[in-house]
Structure 1
Amino acid sequence: MLFADRIHRFLFNGGVLTPESLIPRYERLSGEVELAIIGESARWGDEHHSTPLTLEDWYDGDERYNDGRAGQGWILNYYLPQRTDIVLQQFRNAGLYPSVDAPVFYVDGQYQHGGAVPSGAQLSMRDADGTIWYTLDGSDPRVPARAASSGDDSLLVAEDAAKRVLIPLVPVDPAWRSSATFDDSSWISGVGGVGYERSTGYEPFFDVDVTDQMYGRSTSCYIRIPFDVTPESLADLPALTLDVRYDDGFVAYLNGVEIARRNFDGDPIWTSAAVAQNSDLNAVEFEEIDVSDYLDELRPGRNLLAVHALNISTTSSDFLFSATLAGFQSTGGSTGGAVSAKASQYAGPFAPARSVRVLARSLQGTSWSALNEAVFGVGPVAEFLRISEVMYHPLDPNAEYVELTNIGSETIDLNLVAFTDGIDFAFPSVELAPGAYALVVRDRAAFEAVYGQELNVAGQYAGSLNDAGEELELQDATGQVIERFDYEDNWYDITDGVGFSLTVKDPSATRADGF
């Protein structure tokens, strides 16, 4: 199904393999080689044709596209306009794309696949088979199906299983990963995924938040998940599957025996870090790992799944680990599956209150469509939101901040607005009234120690502002650039480490000389 979702992204809604995307690109490329064709046709035009080919043949001006002369006209007017539908049908015939049609998005009755929409605009979903299910929190409305060979009890460790979590700041007895009786009473207790998110993206995937314990302090996270296996279910298990979501790496142990690892080499210790990143896009999808070779490590009664989860750096903006362990093979590649508890059934047009990322599928019987996904930027956020102050070189380096203000006449919601250059931060849902201010800070504790706790802080950003100056870029939810500018440390001496900030003279004016 993940492959089918990629097909839908590329072959629908102006994706890179649709005619509306391919034709302009081909026109641009063919224009670059056109002059060379004149010389080549003069030299080689009769190599395979008794009548030499010329630039006119390249144009296919006669519009006879089946004459064996595959020129520009044939490609633009015959091949590309129909090729997407042909390839899509080939994928369907091969069983790689479902026969159930995905929903299509409309705004106020007109087709629109994402983009800016006015406040109060009505979003609808149509042209789908069966029932439409959707989410607005970035999660998939479908939960992949599973095929159990011996009943429901073959799910040994559920994603929401109880667990103990430790961020190690000193060496820990290695028995933590092998002994079911190891004393973990002082560890964090919780259920569900483990992680943190300093902007937005991973919030739906973890319940145990380790921001305070892990960010800026450690790249390692120890997780212990005890579970019980009955002798009857142990005898019937045909296979063993570990499904994981992870950012950025991990080493997993079953009763002390390593069964899987990703993005780490060597023997892990309490200061270990991932050696490579796992992209956010991949991290939220379950990766299925066949660990059937370790079935013999299971024993009747109490067992232990232990995980050394790894981040790429102590200042990474996010971290995630979540897992299931099952005595069956996942059928996540099929078109079956259950409705997510976070999904809503589409009942008619609705007006999003803020910018949203909509994920929608159709369910017909037990078969799902591919995923249709788009971001709708609601309201005049790009028109009204401006950067008003930059504290790039404070006395305390951790007390950096950027201030924003609403220069407009109506309240805006900053959901999914993001700093994409200079610093990294994606806003949660934060309402900003006309003339009001919001701040993003490097370190909230350091900021509040200097400025108090009464200011409207939207969150902590990843990275830091360059003391020597750099480019800042702010985008709205749809990726439209709201502001992009460079600041320099030689503009004013008092802003360069003396305790003063760069302040915009008039946030509603152009940025040319506004500081």
Structure 2
Amino acid sequence: MKFRMRIGSIPSVTVLFLMLCFRLSAAGADVVQDVEFSAERGFYDAAFQLTLTTPTQAAQIRYTLDGSTPKSNTGIVYRGPLTISGTTVIRAAAFRPSYENSNVVTKSYIFISDVLRQSPNGQAPGPGWPTGSVNGQVIDYGMDPDIVNNPRWAGLIEDALLDIPTISLVTDLANLFNRSTGIYVNARNDGSNWERRTSVELLNPDGMPGFGLDAGLRIRGAFSRSNSNPKHAFRLFFRTEYGEGKLRYPLFGGEGDDEFDKIDLRTSQNNSWALQGSSQNTLIRDVFSRDVQRDMGQPYTRSRYYHLYLNGHYWGLYQTQERADADFAESYMGGDKEEYDVIKNDSSGSRALHATDGNMDAYRRLYDAAVDGFATDGAYLAVQGLKPVRTPDNLTGERLLDPENLMDYMICTYYTGDPDAPVSCWGHFSNNVFAIYNRVWQEGFTWYRHDAEHSLGANGGVNEGRLLTDPTDRSIGQQWRHFNPAWLHIRLTDNPEYLMQFADRVNMYFSNGGILTAAPNIQRWMDRADQIDLAIIAESARWGDAQRNSPRTKDDWESQNDYMVNTFFPARTQIVINQMRSVGMFPDTAMISFNRHGGEIIPGFELLMSQSNGTPGTIYYTLDGSDPRLRGGGINPNAAIFEDATTTMTLISRGSVWRYKDDGSDQGTSWRHLNFSDRLWKQGPAQLGYGDNDEATVVSYGTSSSNKYPTTYFRHVFYIEDASEFTELSLEIVRDDGAVVYINDVEATPRINMPGGNINYLTWASGSGVPVGGANESTFYMYDIDPDILLDGLNIIAVEIHQVSRTSSDISFDLELVGTIAGSASAPIILDQTTTAQARTYHAGRWGALTEARFAVGLQGLVINEFMASNQTTLIDPDEPDEFPDWIEIYNGTSGTIDLEGMYLTDKLQDLTKWQIGAGVSIEPGQYLIFYADDDGTQGVYHTNYQLSRSGETIVLVDSDGKTIIDSILFDSQFEDVSFGRFPDGNDSWSYQQSPTPGLPNKMDLGE
């Protein structure tokens, strides 16, 4: 027998399960102890003998293999070891007369080779499974032989089924398929009457501990409840009537909570393979929107991908999702769940609003305020409240609005082009609204992106913008029963201060490398795509043929990813800016860029400003952290004028994501064209190459180090609104060894270390020109390009990098492309100290959006260096000798003393100012400073107001502005008395340290 597991180094999640060996019933009667299994649940690839036992003498064990619940008079009497040779779900309980029955224990044993052969012709898996539709509900079984046996996928599909964790649901089949009471075949029914008991197990393919417990099971969704949909989504409820009452497990590692009252198992519903056979299926669009809320620093619901089995039958790819309700709010926002109002709209019928927790009173007051309008500052200030945040005083100053949360929700909604939330642009009613409000703390309603499957080009393509520009859709919400955040936002834009603040946040996200510019969006998308890059093959085998004779495959999925990376994301940001401008939601005046957008600098840094993407005007700036624009629209008397010498736009930034072909093939010339399909090419951020150990993406040189590929190809699509505005175009490139650069199929620069005449994929670099070696291998070299080469809309840059010889040790590639618009001249601003620069364009009495960046002098090398999240015996609290608190070590790797006073050290990305470092705290060069995370700030300036979570979370060091992140670490579960630290000090590499070194240089002694 072989237990299937994958070996890592140090486990990232350690979960200890304690089982009570004895229990007593509430009435004091004797209780039969639970059945013990000789083999743990999980994945197997060889037959084994399973033994069932119970500590209770003279008890009879009964078990089932069909998901039904064993009882004293049902099930199979256990008489000896069972041979488990294929996928098996076994439920067992023990019974003894005059004793209370044991709990039912469920174990799933998955044989992947067996799963591949499940119902190849669509036949029912066995007795109790429907052989056809029930109540009109379409039933679909089995793994498609066209995928399983296809040479293209056959060698990958086992790995696909083992690439992500598995959730196994085991229940009486009648709970799912009984004509009268089965939830799967009566999917439109909802509520507690349509909740059924199920076993839930988590099986980790790497052998890490999972869990097993009972829960309540319901169908989840709205339109997807249709009988024509063979793949329904589920919701799990953890209640005391089923067992412990909560799921206690870190489902989201260090990212989220480790206790849950309920969790959703969602899957692609609209635009899915199972329901519509859609070519747009990705299983990413919905979670992308929620990831954007995360990256904005707003509350959001988390997700992880899983394979799902129903009674041992593979049911496809799903993802967990937290439910935005009062339990969720208590977990992440604090307080008590009884304090929260949770508002959503019905998922069918009239779509009317209702409170799933609390009441509608505060939401009604917010609606009434919106009806009255916010044109005056008094109305706008009143809806925000005048009292301090978190003051439990309901007499005056009720804060109903959190402006930044609403703005970020709407920016995310507008960017993703969601036609189905918070307004259905088809039905013209509010839809998928989720709002949470704490009646005691009164910090304003928070809004949650939900069910964004129709977004990101799935409906309306790259130009979708109905919610933003269509008068009918913009008006939905005037009626109380359809009140939603989009209409609230529209009403608030009547206030000039709100409108300006909204534009400022759009500019922050849409420019200067903000989180909704092309490169971060592509990275966010591909982070999720990479998580299911193999698993999607299993989904194809299960559901790819549900609506088609020719099944959907991973090729279809990759084609949709290519559309997002090469078409949607490069163009979308500017499209949304144009849409906002068309309705007066974003200024027509130019946007400002700095020659460097903040970060760590050395004294004497020369700051330059330029303007682009709009009507040019006068640049006003400040260096004292104040806004050049006064409230009301006046000019700040402390603001100065910057006359920009040039207006520049970075069209392709260093470190951008590139598509590349590294298999030694001859790509001819068609690969240089915009319409060339590179969907099967790999992709990754620059610098790309091999052999120098400085690559962000390592490309292949082939199978032999003495016979390397001559040529590697790179492609990148970028978008330009108006190509005619550029007067200059410059390209900077790292190239080792030779390069030929094409823009829109035109050779754009002189050949770099390449011969003249005809060249092909077998041509070696010539070694002429600038020598390639030493520092030259990582130097950016500039070339001027004729800007007439650019096109309006999408452009393609294609670069071929040529090796100098078969045995050369390395190649390197990175590129930056910058366009210039002529302007007047001004001297640079010299920065000698940490400075926050703010700038706006002012033209004809109208302000442009704010550009803000913080430049930190002397902080490079200030890092979180080591921490311990489970200190039991290692470091004694010097201020409380009987205590062993968690601790965080800061290291100063600079050459000067750094004043930490006013900086922040937090364990929440959503709350960067959670704990502020007190007066008089500084750190000498090359020294260490320990902060004690003991949730007891009364002990002094080195004690935080939080403890670290052993199950994992985030530690963030924030500059004194409360915005600029100096350093951060996201960690998973930790070990008792084992620290996690950088090695060597200040380095980017982290390792576990069995011998912690608080206040001393780190050492690596346990493995990375």
Higher strand share: 1
The answer to which structure, 1 or 2, has the higher relative contact order (CA under 8 A, 6+ apart) is 1
TM-score when scaled to structure 1?
0.42
TM-score when scaled to structure 2?
0.23
